[in-house]
Structure 1
Amino acid sequence: MLVGKFIKNINSKFKGHFFSGLSFNSLNLKKNNIFFSIKGTKINGNKFIKDAIKKGARTIVSNLNFKGLKNRVLYIKSNNPRKLLSEVASKFYQNKPKNLIAVTGTNGKSSIADFYFQILNLNNKKVASLGTLGVKTDLKKSEIKNTTLDPILLNDYLQKIKKLNIDNVILEASSHGLKQNRLNGLDFKTGIFTNLSHDHLDYHKSFEDYLKSKLSLFQNLLRKNSNIITDINIPQYRNIKRIAKKKQLKIFTIGSKESDLELMKHHYKEDKQLFQIKYKNKIYDIIVNLIGKVQIKNILMAMIAAEKSNIKFKKIVKSIKNIKNVNGRFEKIGYIKNNSKVILDYAHTPAALSNCLQNLHEQFINRKISIVFGCGGDRDKSKRSQMGKIANKFCDKIYLTDDNPRFENPKKIRSAVKISIDKAKLYERPSREKAISNAIQNLNSGEILLVAGKGHEKNQDYGSFIRNFSDKKIILKYIKKKNKYLSKNWKVNILQEVIKDKILLDSKISKASINSKQIKKNNIFFAIKG
C-alpha cells in the first residue's frame, strides 16, 4: 500500500512510499508499518520512535518538526497524530457496515445499545454492538478493555462485522474516545445523546470540556441529514438543537408532549412496568419486565433508533414485551425465599446512583433499601462525598467497601465517602465479598439490596494486582447460602425475623389469632395478657 493514497498534504515525491499496516504501539509493530507517535496522559509516543524503527517501521507520523526521508524512513508531521490515525484507519479498513449508530452521554449508553441490539434481533435483523459490555453479534460476544476502542482495533472489528453481512451496528462513544478522535473517519447515520452529569472530571478537568467532548459527536462526526435522537427535557437539548439546525441534521426526541415520542402514562406492577406512548398520532400500550423507570427512556431511544434502521414501528412495539435485563444494569439477581431482592447495577456516578435509588424507592414503595458500594481509585475524587451523601439519603443500611482502588489507598477512598454517611447506618467492609455476604445475610422479608458500581465487571483492580471478581457470582453464592435457612412459607420467615429465634423450616402458618376458640389447624396463636 502507498502512503499517498491514505495521507493527504504530503510531498508528491513521497506519495509512492510503501507501508504494510498501522500501529501506535512499538511493542506489537510489524515490518513496514506506519508508526503513529501519540502523546498520552502518561506516556509520550515520541520516546518510542527509535524502538519502532528498530522493529521495522518505515513511516513515522508525529508532531515533531522534522519531515522528509532520512535513512529510508519517511517522517510525516501532523499537529494531531491521533486524529490522522483514525482517518487513515478508516480508509485502511474499507469495508464497514452501512448503518453506524453512536450513543453518547454519561449514563444509559450500554442499556440503549443492548436494547437496540435486542429489538433488531427480535425482528430478525442482523446486528452488532460495541461498548462497555464488549463486542456482540448474533454469533458470539467478545470482551474489550475500553468503552470506545482504539481506531485500529475499532475499524478492524467493523470490517470483520461487515464480513458477517451485518450492516446495523451501534457503538458507545465515550467522552475519552471522542476527545481523542478515535471515531473520526467513520460515517455515522445516527447519533444518540442520553444525558450529562458529573463524571470523568479527573480527565476533562472541567464540566465544559466534558460537555464539549460529548457534543463533538454531533458537531464533527454527523453528516448533513443524519439523525439525532435525544431527550427533549434535558438541559443539553438546547445545545443539540442549535447544532442540528446549523448542520442540517434531523432531530428526534423522546419525553413530554412536545417530543416526537411521548411518554403519556407510566406505572409499576411489582417487578414489571406498564407504560403508554404516543408516536405519529398513534397510541401504544406496552409492558416490560424491567426494574427502574430510567430504563423506559433508554428503551424509547432504542425504539427510534430501530425505526431509523428500517423496522416498522408496530413491529418494534410488539417486540418490546420480550426485552430482557441488560447485564449488570438494574438486574435482579437470583431468588430469595423471604421475598427480598438483590439488584445489581453499574451506577458509579452521583447522578446514576441517585436515579437508581430513587427508581427503587418509587417501584418498591415502603420497602427498606440497603446498599453495597464504594468508589474507584485514580478517578474523580470530588464525587466521593457526593455519593456517600446520596446513599445516606436513600438507604437504611450502607455497606461501604472497595470498588476498583487501582493505585490509591482503599482506606483513604472509603474515608472520603463515609464523611457524608451517618454512623448508625454505616457498615464498613474493605472486602467486597464480605460486604455482599453481610448485606445478603441481613436482608429481611421484602427488603431491597442494591449492589452498585461494578455491574457486569469480572475483575477487581488493586493496581499492583487484578483479581477475578464478579459481583453477580458472589451474590448468587450467598443467596444460595441464605435460602438454606429460609422457609418456603413467607409467614414463617417473618415470624423468625420478629421473634429472632429459629422455627422449623417446614412449619406451616395459615392465619394468626388471639382467640383460642377460633384457632384452626396451622394457625398461629398469640397469647396476650389482658
Structure 2
Amino acid sequence: MESNSIIELIKKRNIKNIAITAQSAEPGKIFFAIPGLFHNGNDFIDIALAHGASLIITNQNPAIPHDNIIVVKDISIVLETVVNYLYPKLPEYLVAVTGTDGKTSVVNYFQQLCMLANKQAASIGTLGVITTNNYLNKLLNPDPIKPECATTRSYIETRYILHQLATYGINFVALEASSHGIDQSRLKGIKFKAAALTSFSRDHLDYHKTMNKYLDAKLKLFKENVVSNGAAIVNNNINELQIIQSKITSEFGLKLLSVERQGDIQIVSVQGSFNGQKVHFRYKNKDYGFKVPIIGRVHITNMLIALLLAINVGFKSEKLIPLLSNLKPIKGRMEKIKFGNCYVFVDYALTPNALATMLTELRVLNNNKGRLITIFGGSENRDAIARRIQMGIIASKLSDLVIITDQNTCNEDPAAIRKEILQVATSAIEIPNRGEAIKYAINTMIDNDILLIAGKGHETRQQIVGNHVIYYNDMEQVKLHLKQLNKLIV
C-alpha cells in the first residue's frame, strides 16, 4: 500500500497519534513495527493489537492476517510521511547542541536567554522538555520514577514534541543532539537555524568503535540538519578544531563562529569563587563584563555558546549581553549546598573529561584550605572498562579521598564494576549504597572540606539490577543526611 493510501486510511479511522510502544497503542493510534537496535517491533504486534491499535504498519507478512495490519515495502518512507502528516508543525527558531559534555547547559542557557528577552522558549534533552507551560511540561515529560529521558528522543517523539511546542506558540527551542541520536537519524528532516559543538573527548566507543566515527556522527548534524548558510558555533578548545573547521566551512558551507581562544567571542578573564564568577569577554572588538552566581569555568564557555546561538536566530547582541548576569544555575550541574565552612556539590559529570574539569575547578577554588572528597560510581555498559579506569585514575589524582559507590548498574554486577575502579583507585573507600556513601562522606567532613558527588546530577531514579528502578536523588540524600547529622545548612 502506498503512503498516500495510508494517509487516507488514517483520516478514515480518525487516527490522531503514533504509538511509541506497543503497550501505548490504544484506539486512535497507529503503531509502526520497526526493527530497532535491541528489539524488533514485529515481535510486539500482538500486544499492539490487544491494546486496541487502530492501525499497524509492518514490512513483514504477519503470521495471521488482520484488518488493522498493513504490510509495506519501505516502512521508513511511510513513517516519515505519516509523521509529516500527523505532526507537521515545527518551531520557527530551532537550534541544536551536540558535544561530549555541555549539551544540557547550553540548551538551558539558550532557553533562559530567550525567556529573559521576553520570548516563549523551550529546551529538550537530558532534563526533559522544559517550558513555562505546566500543561506541556506534564504532557511531554515521563513519570519521574521511570528511567530518565534519552538525551535525544526517538524520531517520532521528537517530532511530536516539536509539533506540540509549535502548536502552543513556543517558537524558540534548543534541542540536545546526542551522537546516537544523530547517527540513528532521529533528527531526520528537521532543519536548525544554528547548531553548536560544545566539546569532544572520548565517549560512546562501545557504539561508535573509533574516535573518527564518533566525530563523524557529531559532524553529521551540521552536514544534514543545519539550514543552508546557517551558523555553526564551536568551542575553540577542541583538539580536533582544524578538521572540524575545514568540514564545516569548506564541505558543509556553513558560517563558522567560535568561543574561547582567538574566537569570535574571546574570554579575557574569569574570576571565580564559591559564590559565582566575574567574567570579562570581547565580542566584535568591544569589551563586556558580567557576574553570575554559577560555579565552573566551563559554564562561562557554555553561556557564551548559547549567546551566539541566540544571536544567530535573530536576537541583537546589545539586548542579550546585559541579560547574561541574570542566568540561573542548572539543576544537577555544580549544584551547591553549604554547611559550616564546607561545601557539597552535586554534578552530572559522567565522563573522564567532565570529572577532571570539575575536580580541577574545585581544587583551585579551595586553594588547599581543606580536603577534596569525591564520590562516584561506574556507568552502565558505555565504553565501560576504559571509562571507569580513566575516571578512577582522575579521581585518585585530583582528590584527597575517593569513595566508590554504585551508580546505574543495569545488567552488570555492581561489585564487579566497583572492583574495576578500585584496581586503579587503590586507596579509595568502597561503599556500595550511594546514600550511605554520601552519609559517610558528610560525617567525615571538617572545616573547609569540599565534597563532589558525581555521575547522577539531576536524576531522580537509580537503575540497580537489570530493569529494576528505584526513586533516588543525590541532592535529596545530601539534605536528608545533613538533617540527620544535625548539620546546619547556610
Which secondary structure state, in structure 1, belongs to the residue aligned with residue 173 of structure 2? strand
User: In structure 1, what residue type is equivalent to 2:377?
Assistant: G
Determine if contact 1:65/1:77 at 8 Å carries over to the other structure.
Answer: no
1:7-62 Cα shifts (integer Å, max 9, x gaps): xxxxxx88855563534533332458554332223212233346656755656243
The alignment status of 1:477 with 2:480, answered yes or no, reads yes
Q: How big is the shift at 1:316?
A: 1.7
Give the Å deviation of 1:202.
2.5
> Matched residues, percent identical?
34
Any unmatched runs of 5+ in structure 1? 6-12, 489-530
Q: Out of 57, 61, 77, which is 1:60 matched to? A: 57
| Larger RCO (alpha carbons 8 Å, 6+ apart) | 2
Question: Quick one: which amino acid aligns to residue 379 of structure 1?
Answer: R
Structure 2: runs of 5+ lacking an equivalent: 143-148
User: Is structure 2 residue 183 aligned with structure 1 residue 187?
Assistant: no
Following superposition, the deviation at residue 89 of structure 1 comes to 1.7
Q: Quick one: structure 1 residues 88 and 211, their matched pair in 2 at CA, closer, same or farther if it must change by over 3 Å?
A: farther
Deviation at 1:438, TM superposition (A): 0.9
Deviation at 1:292, TM superposition (A): 1.1
Q: Is residue 46 of structure 1 aligned with residue 42 of structure 2?
A: yes
1:324 partner amino acid:
K
Cα deviation 1:222-253 (Å, max 9, x = unaligned): 22111111112313333432233323211211
Is 1:283 aligned with 2:287? yes
Cα distance between partner residues in 2 of 1:247 and 1:480: 55
Q: Where do 1:99-498 residues align within 5 Å? A: 99-140=93-134, 141-142=137-138, 143-144=141-142, 145-241=149-245, 242-257=247-262, 259-333=263-337, 335-337=338-340, 339-367=341-369, 368-382=371-385, 383-423=387-427, 426-462=428-464, 463-484=466-487
- The 4+ residue runs of structure 1 with deviation greater than 6 A are 69-72
CA deviations on 1:144-192 (whole Å, 9 max, x unpaired) are: 4221122222222222212221110001111221122111121211111
Residue 287 (structure 1) shift: 1.6
Secondary structure of 1:265's aligned partner: strand
CA contact (8 A) 1:3 1:18 kept: no
Paired residue secondary structure (1:439): helix
Q: Greater helix percent: which structure?
A: 2
Give the counterpart of 1:28 among 21, 24, 28. Answer: 24
Tell me: CA distance 1:215–1:434, structure 2 relative to 1, closer, same or farther (3 Å). same
Q: Is the partner of 1:321 in helix, strand or coil? A: helix
1:444 alignment partner, SS class: coil
Q: 1:261 to 1:379 in 2, by over 3 A?
A: same
Following superposition, the deviation at residue 3 of structure 1 comes to 5.7
Structure 1 counterpart SS, 2:319: helix
Q: Which amino acid aligns with 2:43?
A: K
Residue 100 of structure 1: SS of its match in structure 2?
A: strand
Alpha-carbon distance change, 4 to 302 in structure 1, aligned in 2, over 3 angstroms? same
CA distance, structure 2, for counterparts of residue 14 and residue 394 of structure 1: 60
Q: Which amino acid aligns with 1:40?
A: G
Whether the 8 Å contact between 2:61 and 2:71 is mirrored in structure 1 is no
Question: Cα gap change, 1:16/1:301 in structure 2, threshold over 3 Å: closer, same or farther?
Answer: same
2:61 and 2:228 map into 1 onto residues whose CA distance is 36
Give the partner amino acid of 1:381.
A
Q: Given the alignment, which residue of 79, 89, 113 partners 1:95?
A: 89
SS at structure 1 position matched to 2:57: strand
Task: Give the distance between the partners of 2:100 and 2:474, measured in 1 at CA.
Answer: 22
1:325 deviates by 1.0
Per the normalisation by structure 2, the TM-score is 0.88
Residues 284 and 48 of structure 1: CA distance in aligned 2, closer, same or farther (over 3 Å) = same
Counterpart of 2:318 in structure 1: which amino acid? K
User: Is the 8 Å Cα contact of residues 59 and 76 (structure 1) preserved in structure 2?
Assistant: no
Structure 1's 395 and 75: CA in aligned 2 closer, same or farther, altered over 3 A? same
Between the aligned partners of 1:400 and 1:411, the Cα distance in structure 2 is 11
Q: CA RMSD in A?
A: 2.7
Deviation string for 1:296-352 (max 9, x for gaps)?
11111011112223322123221111211110011112x201x11001100111111
* CA separation of 1:87 and 1:151: change in aligned 2, threshold 3 A: farther
Contact 1:87 1:184 in 2 (8 A): no
TM-score (norm. length: structure 1) = 0.82
CA distance in 1, matches of 2:194, 2:180: 20
Between the aligned partners of 1:72 and 1:410, the Cα distance in structure 2 is 45
